[in-house]
């Protein structure tokens, strides 16, 4: 299996709105906890450590440079 980086949703905007709505009314701590739970649930659903590692690296590339401790 390879990491899919194209949308698999019939309506990507609806999926995006669902994620945004899930965070509505949550403080920063609760929002971070929700994100963590979602990541763990979806990582388990994928069930492939290679895909998980590839996704982690892809996500890290999207972080602003000043938000990492790596040189």
Cα separation of the two ends of the chain:
31
Q: Count of domains in the chain?
A: 1
Lowest mean pLDDT segment, chosen from 8-12, 36-40, 64-68: 64-68
Question: Domain containing 37: what range?
Answer: 28-63
Question: Does 48 reside within a domain?
Answer: yes
Question: Does 45 reside within a domain?
Answer: yes
- Quickly list H helices, the chain: 12-23, 28-46, 49-61
How confident is the model at residue 67, as a pLDDT? 73
Nearest by Cα to 5 from 69, 42, 43, 59? 59
Question: Does 39 reside within a domain?
Answer: yes
pLDDT digits (tens, 9 = 90+) for 2-13: 899 999 999 999
Distance, in Å, from the CA atom of 70 to the CA atom of 47, rounded to the nearest integer, reads 28
Distance, in Å, from the CA atom of 29 to the CA atom of 21, rounded to the nearest integer, reads 16
What is the maximal distance between C-alpha atoms in the chain?
A: 39
């Amino acid at each position: 299996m390879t990491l899919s980086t194209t949308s698999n949703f019939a309506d990507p905007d609806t999926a995006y709105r669902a994620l945004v709505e899930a965070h509505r009314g949550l403080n920063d701590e609760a929002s971070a906890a929700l994100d963590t739970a979602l990541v763990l649930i979806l990582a388990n659903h994928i069930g492939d450590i290679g895909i998980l590692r590839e996704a982690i690296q892809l996500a890290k590339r999207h972080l602003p440079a000043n938000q990492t401790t790596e040189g």
